[in-house]
Amino acid sequence: MRQYIILCFLAFIAFSSCNNNKQTENSAFADTSFNAFKDRFMDEYWKTNPSSAIFIGYGKYYDTLKIPDSAAFAGDVAFAKNYIDSLHSFDYTGLSDNNKIDYKILENQFLSTVWYIDTFKLQHWDPSGYNIGGECYEIISRNYAPLNERLKTLSKHLQHADAYYSAAMQMIKQPTKEHTELAIKQNEGSLGVFDASLMDSVKASTLTQPEKDTLQAHIALTTAAIKNYVAWLQKLLADKNQQFRSFRIGEELFNQKYKYDLVTDNSAKYLFDKAVEAKNNYHNESYKLANALWAKYCGAQPKPADSLVLIKTVIDKISLHHASPEHLLDTAKKQVHDLEHFIIANDLFNYDTTAPLQVRIMPAFAAGVTLASASQTPVYSKRETTYYNVEDLTKVPAAQAESALREYNNYTLQILSIHEAMPGHCLQGVYSSNKSPDIIQAVFGNGATVEGWAVYVERMMLDNGWSNNSPEMWLMFYKWALRECCNVIVDYGIHCLNYSKEDVVKLLKNEAFQEDAQIEEKYHRATVSQVQLCSYFSGATDIMALREKYKQQEGSAYTLKGFHEKFLSYGSAPVKFISELMLKK
Ligand code: ZN
Ligand code: ZN
């Protein structure tokens, strides 16, 4: 009897463990072969896209310059189609969660490559897509190898620059005026990469004389090719008979691009309606706050009849409270420190406060574009310091500094620090570089997830008591949030609803309280980009919707920290794919 029981028990163990083994072996096999597929694909991808490999710091193929002729574009389509087939040979259901996400990201990536070339045909109408300045700058300035080696790489990279720009001129069929102007400006800027300082480092290098001669000949060939391209584009612009394509891409293409770029189940029209609704809601809330703050900031001055004018008047008064140019960096540093303490004290994240995050003056090469930014650890390197860069306003003319400081006053500077650093971009960067790095997710990270996260945390922090519900803080938050929803209204409005420049100016000036320079910049950005301006609001909307569903699913087990930790563990994958894994069927 006793023996029987033991036997039975053993048999059961043997059976169950065998069964288990078989299962894990199967999925382990699926994942092993999928991982091998990813590695193979990534290297092939960089080989076919050497310029992207340079930007990402991959370390191979830097000396190759791909000539952008029609054969190259046809090759890219074939490459993507081929990989769609390989991808579909894998059993999706047998993959780990991480690989499931990679599968979906790659599928979207391949389909979108085919769409960009065959349907959107960007290569025919955007001359700014042809520019080798940026990658050359990377080759020279990144310290990935000794100077001599970098210069030799540069020399090889440049040897066919003339063929590169000839192919570009062949590819351009009917450009938009706006992208032609952009291409001229940016290629003229690229000439700066090959200026006297490069010649000095060539002279100072220990290359042999023949190597120096070859490099200098290649640089001369390149600058001539760029100048020739610029002159050709200028001639196009001056030609009265040249037919330019409209920069408005129209509803159909916009919807398709929206789907590929943002990866969301919602339609562009849905997001537009949501944005209009949010705008009206922010106006109502702002009016209540501004009305209550009127006496404090405007004294006995009579209240304007127009509610939007009243809001704007109070916002302008509050904006006068700002840091001095000398104290901007210290103010930002203190904010990040306080924000770190706040998220720990309020149990919002399991944040590792020893993670290297530095607040620093904006490096020169990035200066002059925006007041602040976040620099992430490059994809192909291990955990490095994450930077929150702040512009040095002591170096700009006083009037310009004053205008920037009113825009980023005592209140909005806090929102900026939340967005860029804590717990926005920098914190997200720390999480994604701490987790076992998934190259697919890092390389093809979704812009709507990244920006959506930074936008999501702005409100989340205020909702959780950052700044103690100060009415000034909330009013300035609504102004800030109006920019995000108006980005959607402007983008969709221009491309799908035929908004004129006047429509955009009226909207941003009267309803989003923006300054002329900002409005001009936004309008220009919306004419040379499509969909990107929707990514902030779209990502945040999707994250909020996911949080609601996750909260219902988890019931009493739900915590905000739990949601944040789980969400961030998926890196920068599209929110749609993260949702599929976080929400049980
Ligand atoms: Zn001032
Ligand atoms: Zn951002």
Cross-strand bridge partners of residue 374: 388
If you search the block for the tokens 């005592």, which residue do you land on?
Answer: 410
**For residue 510, how far is its CA from the centre of ligand 1 (angstroms)?**
22
Do 421 and 549 belong to one domain?
A: yes
**For residue 418, how far is its CA from the centre of ligand 2 (angstroms)?**
10
Per-residue pLDDT at 13:
31
447 Cβ partners below 8 Å, 6+ apart?
A: 261, 262, 532, 535, 539
- φ/ψ of residue 302, rounded to 5: -65, 145
Cross-strand bridge partners of residue 245: 176
Residue 60 lies in a domain: no
Do 200 and 284 belong to one domain?
A: no
d(CA 362, CA 332): 12
> Contact 138/380 with Cβ under 8 angstroms?
no
Burial of 196 (0-12, 13-18, 19+ CB in 10 A): exposed
67 Cβ partners below 8 Å, 6+ apart?
A: 160, 163, 164, 167
Strand order in the sheet with 372-375: 357-361, 386-390, 372-375
Residue 53 lies in a domain: no
Q: Which of 431, 379, 382, 427 is nearest to 566 (CA)?
A: 431
Do 374 and 468 belong to one domain?
A: yes
Total domains present in the chain: 3
Per-residue pLDDT at 351:
85
> Contact 522/122 with Cβ under 8 angstroms?
no
268 Cβ partners below 8 Å, 6+ apart?
A: 251, 254, 255, 258, 492, 496, 531, 534
Do 443 and 568 belong to one domain?
A: yes
Domain with 458 in it: 259-582
In single-letter form, the type of residue at position 177 comes to: K
CA distance from start to end of the chain: 46
Q: Which ligand is nearest to the CA of 448?
A: 2
Q: Which ligand is nearest to the CA of 402?
A: 1
Segments in 299-397 forming alpha helices (H): 307-318, 328-345
The mean pLDDT of 25-52, rounded to a whole number, is: 89
d(CA 118, CA 260): 14
Do 243 and 324 belong to one domain?
A: no
The confidence band for 560, taking pLDDT boundaries of 50, 70 and 90, is very high
Of 200, 217, 247, the residue that ends a domain is: 247
Do 279 and 407 belong to one domain?
A: yes
- φ/ψ of residue 132, rounded to 5: -105, 5
d(CA 342, CA 338): 6
Segments in 49-176 forming alpha helices (H): 50-56, 70-88, 97-115, 122-125, 133-141, 147-158, 161-171
**For residue 12, how far is its CA from the centre of ligand 2 (angstroms)?**
56
State the greatest distance between any 2 C-alpha atoms of the chain, in Å, as a whole number: 102
> Contact 316/298 with Cβ under 8 angstroms?
no
Q: What is the DSSP letter of 117?
A: I
The confidence band for 164, taking pLDDT boundaries of 50, 70 and 90, is very high
**For residue 319, how far is its CA from the centre of ligand 1 (angstroms)?**
8
The confidence band for 365, taking pLDDT boundaries of 50, 70 and 90, is low
d(CA 390, CA 373): 7
Per-residue pLDDT at 1:
33
Do 6 and 105 belong to one domain?
A: yes
Do 423 and 461 belong to one domain?
A: yes
More confident residue, 381 or 495: 495
Do 382 and 291 belong to one domain?
A: yes
Q: Which of 202-206, 406-410, 494-498 has the largest mean confidence?
A: 494-498
**For residue 408, how far is its CA from the centre of ligand 1 (angstroms)?**
11
Q: Which ligand is nearest to the CA of 532?
A: 2
**For residue 452, how far is its CA from the centre of ligand 2 (angstroms)?**
8
pLDDT digit string (tens) for 109-136? 999 999 999 999 999 999 999 999 989 9
d(CA 138, CA 88): 36
Do 276 and 347 belong to one domain?
A: yes
Of 209, 225, 247, the residue that ends a domain is: 247
Do 229 and 265 belong to one domain?
A: no
**For residue 85, how far is its CA from the centre of ligand 1 (angstroms)?**
60
Residue 339 lies in a domain: yes
Q: Which ligand is nearest to the CA of 417?
A: 2
**For residue 451, how far is its CA from the centre of ligand 2 (angstroms)?**
5
Number of continuous H segments (helices) and E segments (strands) in the chain: 26, 3
The confidence band for 584, taking pLDDT boundaries of 50, 70 and 90, is confident
**For residue 299, how far is its CA from the centre of ligand 1 (angstroms)?**
20
**For residue 78, how far is its CA from the centre of ligand 2 (angstroms)?**
34
> Could you write out the DSSP letters of every residue in 346-363?
TT-----TTS-EEEEEPP
The mean pLDDT of 428-434, rounded to a whole number, is: 78
Of 247, 271, 292, the residue that ends a domain is: 247
Residue 458 lies in a domain: yes
Do 233 and 265 belong to one domain?
A: no
**For residue 519, how far is its CA from the centre of ligand 1 (angstroms)?**
21
Residue 455 lies in a domain: yes
Q: Which ligand is nearest to the CA of 416?
A: 2
Q: How confident is the prediction for the chain on average, in pLDDT? A: 91
Q: Lowest mean pLDDT: which of 19-23, 30-34, 91-95?
A: 19-23
